[in-house]
Structure 1
Amino acid sequence: MKQLASGISGAAPIWRKIILEFLKEKPVVDFQVPEEIVTAEVDEVSGYRSHDGFPTKTEYFISGTEPHEDDPVHLKMKVCKASGKIATPVDLARGDYEEKEYFVFKEDDPTASEGGPNRWQEAIDRWVSQQTDGKYHPPTQMCESENQIEVRINEPGDHSQVNKKFTVKIEPILVNEVVKIEILVDGQTKETFTSTPYERDLNLNEGTHTIKVRVHDNKGGLGEKEIKIGVNVPWDYVVPTPTPLPSPTVFTLSPTPTP
């Protein structure tokens, strides 16, 4: 045999003719998918469950093994508009963020000894460092608002009218730990507390009032929120100035001289 034949040009055509001849008189039987096999839409990049409108593909799974957990590889991250760092709860509350697509590749080294170097991750990191697409370089630091505090007064609403007895409900939004909350009414401290629930009942006199909430955290941070309300009156009610009564006119009668 002077010339070798590859499987594609030699064996494959021969076996094709054999199989076609063998199946010539056989009925066509469609493949029946086993009942325990299901399909699911998965992320085209990671293979985890589809999410965030990223491109998907259909895969086959044994029922019960299809992915349900969150995708740790193909992420849509919330980042600050200015710095591009990871948005904090404060940034999210203020709406000062945008969503961007990133890839995160983390693997354990099954051959590494306890405390030994992760050679798999080292190789991944070297490859990632050579990628010029920003999607491969997700932010790892929090935005500068990490030590800031956003304060919301959910009840009562600003510029609302309430009864004499009402509840102040507070929602502190911060990264650090709340250590103290103060409620001030017209500049005077009414309530001070350090733990949940972040709400207190107040009983105020009729009229307009200014309520301020101060939230302190364990890093020395301070956040404030102020609202104006009216108790049994509109929040912008002004006590009318009494209209002065006109002074009575005094007439002096001069006696008529007698001739």
Structure 2
Amino acid sequence: MSIHKSSDLKRVTTHQLQELKNRGEKISMLTAYDFSMAGIIDAAGVDIILVGDSASNVMAGHETTLPITLDQMIYHASSVVRAVNRALVVVDIPFGSYQGNSSEALRSAIRIMKESGAHAVKVEGGAEIKESVLRILSAGVPVMGHLGLTPQSIYKFGTYTVRAKEDAEAEKLIEDAILLESCGCFAIVLEKIPAKLAKKVAETVNIPVIGIGAGQDVDGQVLVMHDMLGITHEFKPRFLRQYADLRTTILDAVGRYVHDVKAKDFPNSKESY
């Protein structure tokens, strides 16, 4: 199987992502949370690795992304950065570390950049977090926006259903995308919104738009690594394409290991000193 890389870039930068959009080449993005998996994903040619606050779900078993802390995000991000040679590493600033207080937002972003070595941060929201976005950008930290379904606001929405189906919410989403671009964000993630609206946003703003459950007419796609590799098995939304069934593979391998240990077949003489 051949590995498709956007180009022979030695290191993906925000500037090069903009060039990909300008020439119509799609951007690939996946999450990672640890050294081993990040190294594999990077070697496969992914353009952006997101150290997502989805670590709260897939790594720690929480129901939402809300419980994960800034210290925990820095730990995951540091592990990922040490493995990556090519991809741009973006880190979610976790819930409660940037909303409503631009000074705290700046402190959080600086801690992530200094302590993990990441290349950019991501925040959820539009006009309501404008001051935080501007404050972070004023320090020279690249910011990726996130609109549509914003998991940190799940208790406000009360559901993980598709967002911005109504005209008023769709209009606000477009306005927020324009605002984030005007503030200086280098890209925007659109999560779980109608494909037609996502297309309109991608055509309205000049910066790259990355979709998850937002159709094909955006500038790139992102999925949670555990979902697309089939490690998680209960979460199967329409937008997810599962590229492997690692849960079954791992279950089989561990089952055979347990059997061999119980049967006194492992280790054998060749596997002993």
Q: TM-score, normalised by structure 2?
A: 0.20
Greater per-residue helix proportion: 2
Kindly indicate which of the two structures has a greater share of residues assigned to strand.
Answer: 1
Structure with larger RCO (C-alpha < 8 A, sep 6+):
2
What's the TM-score once normalised by structure 1's chain length? Answer: 0.21
